[in-house]
Amino acid sequence: MIEFLFLCLANTAISYTISRSMFFEPIRNWFFLRDHKSNIYKFIHNMISCTYCLSHWVAFAMVLLWQPTFTQCNILPFADYIISAFSMITITTLLWSTIDKLT
């Protein structure tokens, strides 16, 4: 459980830093300037500019790498990982929305 909470904190930090910090602003702008040429640029720009959207992708990557599980679903093989990913997204959303309100 502690590992999962640290993964949630890391997801919050990664998602918030990429989508909001000045450090990644040149990358976001680069995709923004090219988003009219291709749908893939538009998709990537939207994904890295939206903290909520990005937190989904980060959560799925973290679940694939660390494979945290809380349930034992024997019916569907990946249900445990899906539940873990969406639990991580929920906690991450609560954390960065709190950060947003405090700043």
Given this model, what pLDDT does residue 42 score? 81
Give phi and psi for 78, each to the nearest 5.
-105, 10
Its pTM surpasses 0.85: no
For residue range 17-68, list pLDDT tens digits in order. 999 999 999 988 887 777 566 788 888 888 899 999 999 999 999 999 998 8
Domain boundaries of the chain, sorted by first residue: 2-102
Given this model, what pLDDT does residue 35 score? 58
69 pLDDT above the threshold of 90: no
Determine the Cα–Cα distance for residues 84 and 27; give it in Å rounded to an integer: 30
